[in-house]
Structure 1
Amino acid sequence: MPLWGGIEAGGTKFICGVGTKPNDIRAEIRIPTTTPQETIPQVIDFFHQQEKLEGTLEGIGIGSFGPLDPNPASPTFGYLKHTPKHNWVDFDFVGAIRREFKIPIGFDTDVNAAVLGEYRWGNAQGLDTFIYITVGTGIGGGGMVNGKLIHGLLHPEMGHIFIPHNLTEDPFTGCCPFHNDCLEGLASGLAIEKRWGKKATSLPPEHPAWLLEANYLALGLVNFVLTLSPQKIIMGGGVMNQKQLFPLVRSQVQKHLSSYLKVPEILNEIEDYILPPKLGNKAGLMGAFALAEQAAP
């Protein structure tokens, strides 16, 4: 089988791997996200080493934090755009990898990569319209409509939608550097930490933070349900590892929809409608493999 390289480029770390599918990952490494000058040479060195050990790569897929330019017809295809990570603004990501490896390079957002991973091997197999939301330090979203990843003008930025914010009940003004109290500004892991003065992982399950968090996430999901009519909503990211959060989010989605959509998936089967990724924390890396495969002739 063809051997693929994958890069899941996150805001805090890069996860790089070589393999063919979920049960055939030959090697994997985590590299801190610092600056392009520090991080990218380590990525390149990893793939060079693996080619010596495992054989020639047929392609490399990159799923990256953004905003970014995923349009192959654009003169800035493969570039990171005005990302909050200032050292990476206008960085030619695809070009940096392509100069070292004369092979096809697939490129998309990290969340769209996770979408593709779940579509190929996870909880979205057999579907053609679904979304993937990741809730971690920030909030990102990606999706597929009619069997194609969502792009359009650029790519989805689902974490930056605006949702109702009652300042009397929640006086926290938000932490998004661009929009203050957008969904990411109110419900990201960073927002939880800034609002409560503690990291999300240190808050007990009964803490009031979780009902507030579930309410904000549910408000976002309701907007996506009513706009895109997804067949499933897959939710990943570190914050969603809190086991008490999924039941709260599901019940709040039902509450906010107020029986408007009388479909069994939401009324009676919501545990299988809003659910974690089958691939777990491998969804992004597997999606990067799939991006590499798509880019290959």
Structure 2
Amino acid sequence: MILGAIEAGGTKFVCAISDEALKIKERISIPTTTPEETLAAVFNFFDTYQVDAIGIGSFGPIDVNPLSSTYGYITSTPKPGWKNFPFLEKMKERYDIPFAWTTDVNAAAYGEIKKGAAVGKNSCIYITVGTGIGAGIVVDSKVIHGFGHPEAGHILVKRDERDSYEGTCPYHKDCLEGVAAGPAIGNRFGIKAQELPKDHVAWEIEAYYLAQALVNYTLVLSPEKIIFGGGVMKQTQLFPLIYKEFTKLMNGYVSTPELEEYIVPCALGDNAGITGCLLLAKESLV
């Protein structure tokens, strides 16, 4: 069995080939340029293999409703050239094989529950905090889709009283992504987030926004594990600040596991998405 995976991001596409045991045989990174140029490189990679199934985790928003006329499309993305692009259709035209189709963060969540920080659990949320904020949700060991897919990075949050920054989101301005993604941190203080001192007030403000999101996710979904990924969360000083704010905001209303065990960094690192895509590809053959 030969499995393929595509972690399709707004900056780069990561493509991989593995065997049935998910041992990766080859992996490449392709810059995300135009759809035509990017897919040409994707095809060039997969054409050299007799692939049995491919799992795709794509940046979005995407259409995940099989009953929709635009199923398999990247829809309202601000990424130039990719709006309303029939991604899955183009892949199926090239390869007559089963495909799994979901968001990049759903794929990462699935990778983490099967092979990473949430092994042994039935539910988890994976949140990536980087250039944007996205969240993937797994419940009863199944990726959550409905009419659409979760866009939990765009929930509305209360403003920190120290914060007057308008927000970066082109749709909502000061939603969670608008005030807490990497560009918002940098724009707010006029310096790249990773260059800020670890004791800068920026991290207290960031923790306040992220903790609000986690309280909301906990109250609505009650996941067994909350997992963070993305470049911003490599700032490990954020975790104790988030625990403090989460405790304050929840105020004892519902109980959770110990926060150090409940809110954790991802275990698979940059391999979470690819791992999830490979797993979903394998399951599409069952």
Q: Report the AA paired with residue 249 of structure 2.
A: H
Shift of 1:147: 2.8
SS in structure 1 of the partner of residue 134 of structure 2: strand
Instruction: Tell me, yes or no, if the aligned pair for 2:154 and 2:176 is still in contact at 8 Å.
Output: yes
Which of 115, 127, 130 lines up with 1:121 in the alignment? 115
TM-score by length of 1: 0.92
Residues 1-297 of structure 1 mapped to structure 2, 5 A cutoff:
2-20=1-19, 24-49=23-48, 51=49, 56-166=50-160, 168-263=161-256, 265=257, 269-297=258-286
CA distance in 2, matches of 1:207, 1:22: 45
Q: Any gaps of 5 or more consecutive residues in structure 1?
A: none
Runs of 4+ that moved beyond 3 A: 20-23
Alignment-mate amino acid for residue 267 of structure 2: K
Q: How large is the RMSD of aligned CA atoms in angstroms?
A: 1.5
Structure 2 runs not aligned, ≥5 long: none
2:20, 2:250 → 1: CA distance? Answer: 38
- How many residue pairs are counted as aligned between the two chains? 286
> SS of the counterpart of 2:102?
strand
Report if aligned partners of 1:117, 1:286 keep a CA contact under 8 Å in 2: yes
Query: How far did residue 283 of structure 1 move?
Result: 0.3
If the length of structure 2 is used for normalisation, what is the TM-score?
0.96
- Percent identical among aligned pairs is 50
C-alpha contact (below 8 Å) 1:78/1:107 kept by paired residues: yes
TM-fit CA distance, 1:222: 0.5
User: What's the CA shift for 1:21?
Assistant: 7.0
- In structure 2, relative to structure 1, the CA distance for the partners of 1:165 and 1:127 (3 Å cut) is same
1:249 Cα deviation from its structure 2 partner: 1.3
The one-character-per-residue Cα deviations of 1:171-192 (angstroms, maximum 9, x if unpaired) are 1010100000000000001111
Question: Which letter maps to 1:45?
Answer: N
Query: In the alignment, residue 96 of structure 2 is paired with which amino acid?
Result: K
> Aligned in 2, Cα 1:64/1:7: closer, same or farther, shift over 3 Å?
same
The more displaced of 69-78 and 234-243 is 69-78
Report the Cα distance in structure 1 between the residues aligned to 2:220 and 2:230, rounded to whole angstroms.
23
